[in-house]
Amino acid sequence: MRYAELFCQSNFSFLQGASHPEELVKQADFLKYDALAICDECSVAGVVRAHTAVKKYGLGVKLIIGSLLRYQDLELVVICPNRTAYAELCRVISNARKRSKKGQYELALWDVMSIKHGFILWLPSLSERDNYWASWLQQYHANRLWIGVQRHLQNNDAAYLAHCESLSAQFSLPISACGGVLMHSATRQRLQHVLHAIRLGTSVEKVGSTLLCNAERSLRSINKLSKLFKKAWVDNSVVIAKRCEFNLDSLRYEYPSELVPRSHTAMSYLRALVEQGKQRRFPNGVPDHIIGIIHKELALIEELDYAYFFLTIHDVVMFAKQQGILYQGRGSAANSVVCYCLEITSVDPQQISVLFERFISKERNEPPDIDVDFEHQRREEVIQYIYKKYGRERAALAATVVSYRFKSAVRDVGKALGIDATQLEYFIKNINRRDKSQHWQAQIVELGLAPHSFLGQLFIELVDEIMGFPRHLSQHVGGFVISAGPLYELVPVENASMTERSVIQWDKDDLESLALLKVDILALGMLTAIRKAFQKIELHLGHRWQIADITRLQEDAQVYGMLQNADTVGVFQIESRAQMSMLPRLKPACYYDLVIQIAIVRPGPIQGDMVHPFLKCRNGEEEISYPSEAVKDVLSRTMGVPIFQEQVIKLAMVAAGFSGGEADQLRRAMAAWKKSGELMQFKNKLINGMQERGYTQAYAEQIFSQICGFGEYGFPESHSASFAVLAYVSAWLKYYYPAFFYCALLNSLPMGFYSASQLCQDAERHNVTIWPVCVNQSDYDHKVCETDNGFVIRLGLRLIKGLKASIAKTVVTERPEQGYKTVEALFEVVCEHRTMSHLASANALHTFTNGRYSARWAIMDRESTLPLFRTPELVVEQIQKKNIAPVGEAEEIATTIEDYKSTGLSLNKHPITLLDEAGKLTHFTRAQHLMNLQHKSWVTVVGVVTGKQSPGTAKGVTFFTLEDDTGNINVVVWSGTARAQKQAYLNAKILEVKGIIEKEEKVIHVIAGRLTNLSDLLTM
* DSSP letter for each residue of 125-188: -SSTTHHHHHHHHHHHHGGGEEEEE-----TTHHHHHHHHHHHHHHHT--EEE---B-BSSGGG
Cβ atoms of 485 and 254 within 8 Å: the answer is yes
pLDDT for residue 951: 65
Query: What CA–CA distance (Å, rounded) separates 538 from 737?
Result: 12
54-85 tens-digit pLDDT = 998 999 999 999 999 999 999 999 999 999 99
Query: What CA–CA distance (Å, rounded) separates 961 from 982?
Result: 17
Which of 82-86, 214-218, 240-244, 954-958 shows the lowest mean pLDDT across its residues? 954-958
Query: What CA–CA distance (Å, rounded) separates 328 from 673?
Result: 31
Query: What CA–CA distance (Å, rounded) separates 126 from 132?
Result: 12
**Is it the case that residue 613 has pLDDT exceeding 90?**
no
Give residue 359's pLDDT band: very low, low, confident or very high (50, 70, 90): very low
**Is it the case that residue 354 has pLDDT exceeding 70?**
no
**Is it the case that residue 196 has pLDDT exceeding 50?**
yes
Closest CA to 251 of 501, 503, 10, 492: 492
Q: Which long-range contacts (CB under 8 A, 24 or more apart) does 577-585 make?
A: 577/947, 577/949, 577/959, 577/961, 577/970, 578/949, 578/951, 578/959, 580/970, 580/1003, 581/970, 581/1003, 581/1005, 582/611, 584/1001, 584/1002, 584/1003, 585/615, 585/1000, 585/1001, 585/1003
87-133 tens-digit pLDDT = 999 999 999 999 998 889 999 999 999 999 999 999 999 888 999 99
913-939 tens-digit pLDDT = 989 988 899 999 999 899 889 999 999
Segment 440-452 shows an average pLDDT of: 82
**Is it the case that residue 223 has pLDDT exceeding 70?**
yes
Give residue 605's pLDDT band: very low, low, confident or very high (50, 70, 90): low
pLDDT for residue 75: 97
pLDDT for residue 331: 76
Residue 205, strand partner residues: none
Which of 101-115, 358-372, 438-452, 654-668 shows the lowest mean pLDDT across its residues? 358-372
Helix or strand (DSSP H, E) at 576: none
Query: What CA–CA distance (Å, rounded) separates 48 from 506?
Result: 8
Give residue 957's pLDDT band: very low, low, confident or very high (50, 70, 90): confident
763: helix, coil or strand? helix
Q: Which of 202-211, 586-595, 733-742, 883-892 has the highest mean pLDDT?
A: 733-742
pLDDT over 90 percentage in the chain: 52
386-429 tens-digit pLDDT = 999 988 888 899 998 999 999 999 999 999 999 999 999 988 88
Query: What CA–CA distance (Å, rounded) separates 941 from 934?
Result: 15
Residue 960, strand partner residues: 948, 971
Structure-model confidence comparison of residues 546 and 870, the more confident one: 546
Burial 793-827 (b: 16+ CB within 10 A, else e): bbbbbbbbeebeeebbebbbeebeeeebebbbebb
Cβ atoms of 455 and 364 within 8 Å: the answer is no
252-306 tens-digit pLDDT = 777 778 889 999 999 999 999 999 999 988 888 998 888 988 998 899 889 888 8
Structure-model confidence comparison of residues 516 and 48, the more confident one: 48
Tell me the H-state helices in 677-804: 683-692, 697-713, 717-736, 738-748, 756-765
**Is it the case that residue 814 has pLDDT exceeding 70?**
yes
pLDDT for residue 879: 42
Structure-model confidence comparison of residues 22 and 635, the more confident one: 22
Structure-model confidence comparison of residues 111 and 546, the more confident one: 111
757: helix, coil or strand? helix
Which residues, including other chains, have CB under 8 Å from residue 132's CB and lie 6 or more apart? none
Give residue 721's pLDDT band: very low, low, confident or very high (50, 70, 90): confident
768: helix, coil or strand? coil
Give residue 556's pLDDT band: very low, low, confident or very high (50, 70, 90): very high
Give residue 30's pLDDT band: very low, low, confident or very high (50, 70, 90): very high
Query: What CA–CA distance (Å, rounded) separates 961 from 964?
Result: 10
Query: What CA–CA distance (Å, rounded) separates 200 from 209?
Result: 13
pTM of the model: 0.81
Q: How many other CB atoms are found less than 10 A from the CB of residue 253?
A: 18
Give how far the C-alpha of residue 669 lies from the chain's centroid of Cα atoms, to the nearest Å: 21
Give residue 952's pLDDT band: very low, low, confident or very high (50, 70, 90): low
pLDDT for residue 532: 96
pLDDT for residue 391: 87
Segment 797-818 shows an average pLDDT of: 93
Cβ atoms of 98 and 493 within 8 Å: the answer is yes
**Is it the case that residue 630 has pLDDT exceeding 70?**
yes
Compute the C-alpha angle 937/938/944, nearest 5°: 120
pLDDT for residue 881: 44
Structure-model confidence comparison of residues 345 and 791, the more confident one: 791
pLDDT for residue 775: 94
Structure-model confidence comparison of residues 679 and 117, the more confident one: 117
Which of 217-221, 640-644, 645-649, 980-984 shows the lowest mean pLDDT across its residues? 645-649
**Is it the case that residue 672 has pLDDT exceeding 70?**
no
pLDDT for residue 462: 95
pLDDT for residue 541: 95
Residue 1005, strand partner residues: 998
Which of 183-187, 517-521, 607-611 shows the lowest mean pLDDT across its residues? 607-611
Q: How many other CB atoms are found less than 10 A from the CB of residue 295?
A: 11
Query: What CA–CA distance (Å, rounded) separates 314 from 478?
Result: 16
pLDDT, the chain, mean: 87
Segment 580-584 shows an average pLDDT of: 88
Closest CA to 5 of 43, 31, 41, 44: 31
